[in-house]
């Protein structure tokens, strides 16, 4: 049996210190098609947070809570996490004193939130890219919106007392979130989000939407860029686009595409710099500037 990697060793260290912890994984089947089956062990609970029946289409695209053995055992399921979790963030590890049913009830309820206009939506905390923004994680440098988006009561309801959560960020780095044990709020659900919270959540997903569009429609301009570098390049281009006053999504998307094509030339080529400055000063539109970009 191969040795566990550093991330699993971190879990094992905590398991040895707090033997009463029970271990769980929130597995996002929509991001990784082999989940939750890759983590299900005989006799352990696994259940869709949307109550989807196993084997159905809905189950294939919904998050699951999966009961795990202790990481001290380093079973095949922990080996799967060791090999795959950082390559494609799709799992969140949870250590808690609560039972499977207690955690499932909490997670199933908090997935529904109310928007300022009274409509509802799903709060996709099971997405590692969103979780850090929701609860706030200054150590995660890959977050576009640092957060926390949720208020203190909402955070303590999601990251319940006496629990520790881990996720892998877009750079494949393990990030830890501990519950705020000094604060014990009432169980207040569904969360009612204010407009600033909604705006922050929308903004948090903008680089992902741009990257997804480029990969689907203009893959040729990004195919030679390493997968773990694409998000950071798009995020930087988004910031640069806004810094010169671009506001429409069409202009921002075009800027990001051009930035991926020209890369270092965006700041080094004097002809390009002149065009960008002209856009910033309002002398020409970005569409007009695009027509004059050098070959």
Q: How far apart are CA 134 and CA 115, in angstroms?
A: 15
- The encoded tokens of residue 78 equal 């922990």
Q: Are 133 and 200 in contact (CB under 8 A)?
A: yes
Q: How far apart are CA 134 and CA 106, in angstroms?
A: 16
Please tell me the chain's helix, strand, coil percentages from 3-state DSSP, rounded to the nearest 5.
45, 15, 40
- pLDDT-above-90 percentage for the chain: 84
**Three-state secondary structure call for residue 11:** helix
Q: How far apart are CA 32 and CA 290, in angstroms?
A: 38
265 backbone dihedrals φ, ψ, rounded to 5°: -65, -20
Q: How far apart are CA 181 and CA 162, in angstroms?
A: 6
Instruction: Return left, alpha or beta for 211; rule: phi > 0 is left, psi -120 to 50 is alpha, else beta.
Output: alpha
Mean pLDDT of the chain: 93
The mean pLDDT of 270-281, rounded to a whole number, is: 97
For residue 154, CA distances in Å to 50, 97, 158, 173, 265 come to 20, 20, 6, 25, 45
Predicted confidence (pLDDT) per residue in 53-67, tens digit: 988 999 999 999 999
Q: Are 293 and 255 in contact (CB under 8 A)?
A: no
For tokens 């912890």, name the residue.
21
Q: What is the pTM of this model?
A: 0.90
**Cross-sheet strand order for the sheet of 120-122:** 120-122, 112-114, 191-192
Predicted confidence (pLDDT) per residue in 105-160, tens digit: 999 999 999 999 999 999 999 998 899 999 999 999 999 999 999 999 899 889 98
The answer, yes or no, to whether residue 183 has pLDDT greater than 70, is: no
Residue 2: per-residue pLDDT: 63
**Other beta carbons less than 10 A from residue 272's beta carbon:** 18
- The encoded tokens of residue 118 equal 């009274």
Residue 4: per-residue pLDDT: 78
Residue 191: per-residue pLDDT: 94
- pLDDT-above-70 percentage for the chain: 97
Predicted confidence (pLDDT) per residue in 224-273, tens digit: 999 889 999 999 999 999 999 999 999 999 999 999 999 999 999 999 99
The DSSP secondary structure of 92-144, one letter per residue, reads EEEEESS-HHHHHHHHHHHTEEE-TTS-EEE--TTSHHHHHHHH--TT-TT-S
Q: Confidence band (pLDDT; 50, 70, 90) for 206?
A: very high
């Amino acid at each position: 049996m191969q040795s566990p990697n550093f991330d699993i060793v971190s879990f094992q260290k905590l398991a040895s210190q707090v033997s009463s912890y029970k271990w769980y994984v929130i597995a996002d089947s929509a991001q990784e098609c082999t989940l939750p089956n890759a983590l299900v062990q005989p006799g352990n609970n696994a259940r869709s947070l949307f109550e989807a029946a196993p084997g159905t289409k809905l189950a294939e695209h919904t998050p699951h809570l999966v009961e795990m053995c202790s990481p001290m055992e380093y079973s095949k399921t922990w080996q799967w996490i060791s090999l795959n979790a950082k390559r494609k963030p799709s799992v969140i590890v949870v250590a808690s004193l609560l039972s499977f049913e207690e955690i499932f009830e909490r997670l199933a309820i908090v997935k529904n939130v109310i928007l300022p206009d009274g409509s509802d939506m799903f709060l996709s905390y099971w997405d590692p890219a969103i979780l850090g923004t929701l609860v706030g994680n200054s150590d995660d440098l890959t977050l576009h919106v640092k957060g926390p988006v949720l208020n203190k009561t909402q955070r303590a309801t999601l990251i319940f007392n006496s629990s520790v959560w881990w996720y892998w960020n877009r750079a494949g780095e393990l990030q830890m979130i501990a519950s705020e044990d000094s604060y014990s709020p009432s169980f207040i659900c569904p969360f009612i989000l204010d407009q600033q919270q909604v705006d922050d959540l929308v903004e948090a997903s903008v680089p992902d939407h741009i990257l997804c569009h480029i990969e689907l429609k203009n893959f040729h301009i990004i195919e030679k860029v390493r997968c773990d570098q694409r998000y950071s390049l798009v995020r930087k281009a988004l910031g640069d686009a806004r810094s010169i006053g671009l506001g429409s999504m069409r202009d921002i998307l075009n800027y990001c595409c051009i930035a991926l094509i020209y890369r270092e030339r965006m700041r080094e080529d004097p002809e390009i710099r002149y065009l960008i400055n002209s856009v910033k000063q309002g002398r020409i539109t970005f569409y007009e500037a695009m027509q004059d970009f050098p070959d």
